[in-house]
Amino acid sequence: MKHCLIPLSFLLLATQPGVSVATEPGSESPAPDDDIEIVVVTGVRLYEELLIESSPVARPGLDNSELLRLFPGGNRNANGPLTRISQYRGLFGAQNSVAIDGFAYSADCPNWMDSPLSSIPQSLTDSVTLFRGLGSVDEIEEGLGGGIRIESRNAGFSNRPDWGTFGNAELSYGENASA
């Protein structure tokens, strides 16, 4: 009885007048469905890539810790010219991982008198990258939250067959309380 019902149901479906059948090319096309409701979905992209126009990192009077202030939520604690401690959204010091050219740096003393941001001069800095939130272990090795990656400027070489000159020079000046 079960085997007889299946072919019988196919036969009934095929003979129903309301069943839509594909039409041949050149024959009358079905009327468009104007009564279909248009649904617009809005939301937030979780993995949106933020593209910031690159600009030269070297700006007069800025060091690597001052560059952190350009990022939303980034700041630094400055207790002198060398004690620039990174701060990102409330996390500071050892809670932020700092890597320079792929090597993780930590403070040289418990008082953070020589912070990782002072390990490379700003004149040799090519880029500063801030990783928001919880990052991968590859980028943030020992931090709780955001990670900071600093890439140094490499010496340039030319593929020209003749001689040429190129280079980079920077001069800076600082004073200590007009002493």
Residue 59's nearest CA partner among 151, 167, 176, 172 is 172
pLDDT in tens, 52-62: 555 555 555 56
Q: Which two tokens stand for residue 62?
A: 């800025």
102 pLDDT above the threshold of 80 = yes
Question: 147: closest CA among 129, 160, 163?
Answer: 129
Per residue in 107-125, pLDDT tens? 767 777 777 777 787 778 8
Task: Report strand pairing: 97-100 vs 147-152.
Answer: parallel
pTM: 0.55
**58-89 tens-digit pLDDT:** 555 567 777 777 778 888 887 766 667 777 77
pLDDT tens for each residue of 123-149: 788 888 887 777 677 777 766 777 888
Q: Does the domain spanning 64-152 belong to CATH 2.170.130.10?
A: yes
**Confidence category of residue 151, pLDDT binned at 50, 70, 90:** confident
Q: How far is residue 121's CA from residue 104's CA, in Å, rounded to a whole number?
A: 16
